Structure formats: structure tokens, C-alpha cells
Amino acid sequence: MRCVVGKVALIVAIALVVVIGSGLARDEDEWQRIAGAHAFNLVQWEYENLLDKWRYKAMCALNGDCISSIEYRDLVSRYLELEQRIFGLEAEIDRGGTSGSGNTALEAELASLKSETGRLRPVVEEVIESQISSVLAGLGLSFRIRLGGDFDLVFPPVDIAFSQRPNVLIISLRERIELVNTVLLKPDVLPEDRISMEEQVDGLGFSGLATTIGGVATYPSIVPRAVSLETLLSTAAHEWVHQYLAFHPLGRNYWTSYEMRVINETVADIAGDELGRLVYSLFYDGEDLAGAGELPGNGFDFRKAMREIRLAVDDYLASGEIELAELFMEEQRLYLAENGYYIRKLNQAFFAFHGAYGESPASVSPVGEQLRKLREQSSDFREFVTSVSGISSYDDLLKIVGE
């Protein structure tokens, strides 16, 4: 019993550190008021999901029905195939192309598929968690402890929960691209409610955007549904990196400056993508279990176009021409759509949020290149992650990379 209580206490402590360190528990009354009933209840979500991983492990051990290493590939493949079909059915139903008995048949099939994914979900979550943990241990990011026996522990333990893609309300200054705050929103926010929140933010003289995001580094991590194995692995790994950093200076200083947010997100991107590729290579041998989807193949250079748009917007805003900047962004949004890249709303908030990812085409920060340089200078993955985790300021990064 003492071991069980100790494990539960450890899990709760990890959750508190990760949530508080990530800034998700920040209380900004005005933005919370605008989000209103659409705000994501983090406390409730933790209560409902915190012990799921360990409950599943206990049931597996008690019942003796844990899956074998031979079965995991088929289970993951089946799960992704189901998700792919679910996405297709949801899109077909949303388009309203079928009515009457045809629509009823689609909804019945959708319900059946969701029921099957519900049964598979905890098993597939455990498979992905175990695979990432195994790779992290192999990279030297674990330590041996004695707790009813000797075993290697990855800290924090990898813990993910597949969920609907969450939303976020992004607030930026209007006169320049600078993130003011973000409010996590429920997954089921309607389009008209997004627009209403954005208009309220705009009415206060800021730039607002309510949009979907990838994962969230709660504990367990919220990992959105995905039909691509590569995306699933890299997202899960990305969020674990955030959890790891929460126990180090880099993560604890996430909210001290915009530069520190950029460093945090870019480190999670670089390390998460590399870790995801390692898991994919080791356990799936490059097998494509579900396609990631094809990007428009018209030769249009989205990254180049987006970066040019960002630079032009910065120039407009630096000259105090806010209205011209906003008119320009709308024109460019339509231009991107004509070339196969649809963005619902392109404004200061869009660039403030996506610009925090140093390797994003929406970013003009040198952090992406600097961290890539640091990764190249590092002898291995572990050295990169442990060295960068000790960064407390942008100046620390410049010292490490020799700039």
C-alpha cells in the first residue's frame, strides 16, 4: 500500500509542477471572461484523466491480458485506420451531402467506429508511451530506482491521453506582433463562438484569434487524434519534452519573456521530431501505417511566401500603419488560399502564436537556426536536451552557441 500511495503522490506532484510551470494555470480575468463557458476546465480534466495510465497498468497486471510486442503493430495500425475513417465520415456528415436514411446510416457507422476506438485507445496509448520510454531510456534519459524492486525510470514518466484537438484563444498586441496571453478552450467551440470571442478581443484594442492547436503539455499530455503515425509520435514526444523541461530552468522560465517561449517551443519541436523519428524507425521500420496526407503539389513555396508576409507586416507595423498591415494580411490570406493553403484568419495574433515556434515559416526569430546549430554541436540527443534545459535567458543560449 505504501508503494501505491507513493506512486500516486509522485504522479500528482508531477501534474502540479507541469501545469503550474507551463502557465496553463495563469488567471487573467478579462480574457477568462471573454472565453466564458468555452474555457477549458483544467482541474476537471486532470481529475478525469490523471490516473488512467496507472489504472490500465494495474488491470493489465491483474488480469494477465497485456499485449505482446507482436500485437502492437496491428493494434496501432487498426486504431489509425479507424481514426482515418472517422475523420472522413465526420467531414461527410458536416458537409450535409446526405440526408434522411443515408445520413442515419453514416451516423450509425460513426458511432460504431468511435466505440471501437474507445476500446483500443488505452491500449494504443500504453503502446506509444512504452515505445517512447524505451527510446528515452536507450538515450540515457532514465535512472535506476528501488521501489519494490530495481527498475529504470524515465522522469517524468511518459503519459499521454488521446483527445479531441483543443482550441486556444490567442491575444496579441495590435500595434506590434507580441503575444499577450493565451486561454485554452474546449474542443467543441462553434465557429460563431470563435468569431464572437475574437471580436470581443479586437474591441479592447488587441488582436484576437480562436483556433485549434496541437497537443497540450498537461499531465498526462493531451495528444490530438491523428491519422498519421509520424504526427502522433512527434506530438507525443513534443509534449513530453515540455514536461521534462518544466523541472529545469528552461521550462520554469517559459513565461518570463517572448524569447524564452520561442526557445521552449523550438526545443520541443526539434527534440520531439527527432525522438518521434527514432521511435518510428525502431518500432515500425519506416512502415506507413496511415498516410499524413499530401500537401498541394503546385510548386508553391508556402514557407517562403509566409516569411515574406511576416516581414512585410512587421514593416507596416513599425511605421505605425496598423490598418494597412491588416488589409495586407487579408489580401495575402486570400492569395494563400488560391494556392491551396487555407488559413481562416491571418492577423497579428496568428503571427504572435505561430512565431513562437522558431522553425515555423511565421517566425522571424533567429532561435530556430541557433538551436539547430546547438544540436549539431552536441554529441548526441541527451547532451542537447540536458544542456539546453539549463538555459534561463536568451543570453544563456547565445553563450552556449558562441554568439
pLDDT in tens, 131-164: 999 999 999 998 766 555 566 788 999 999 998 8
CB atoms within 10 A of CB 220: 31
pLDDT digits (tens, 9 = 90+) for 228-278: 899 899 999 999 999 999 999 999 999 899 899 999 999 999 999 999 999
Residues 6+ apart with CB under 8 A from 361: 302, 303, 304, 305, 306, 307, 310
In this structure, the strands spanning 160-163 and 150-153 are unpaired
Q: Which of left, alpha, beta for 100 (phi over 0: left; psi -120 to 50: alpha)?
A: left
In the sheet with 167-173, reading across from the earlier edge strand, the strands are 179-185, 167-173, 206-212
DSSP 287: -
Q: What pTM, to 2 d.p., does this model score?
A: 0.83
Flag whether pLDDT at 101 surpasses 70: no
In this structure, the strands spanning 167-173 and 179-185 are antiparallel
Winning range, highest mean pLDDT, from 14-23, 58-67, 87-96, 387-396: 387-396
The x, y and z cell numbers of residue 111, run together, are: 458511432
Helix 381-389 / helix 258-284 crossing angle, nearest 10 deg: 160
CB atoms within 10 A of CB 123: 19
63 band by pLDDT with thresholds 50, 70 and 90: low
- What's the confidence (pLDDT) of residue 183? 94
Domain boundaries, the chain: 40-159, 163-401
Residues 6+ apart with CB under 8 A from 168: 182, 183, 184, 185, 210, 211, 212, 213, 353
The full DSSP string for 135-149 is HHHHTT--EEEESSS
Q: d(Cα 248, Cα 254) in Å, to the nearest integer?
A: 10
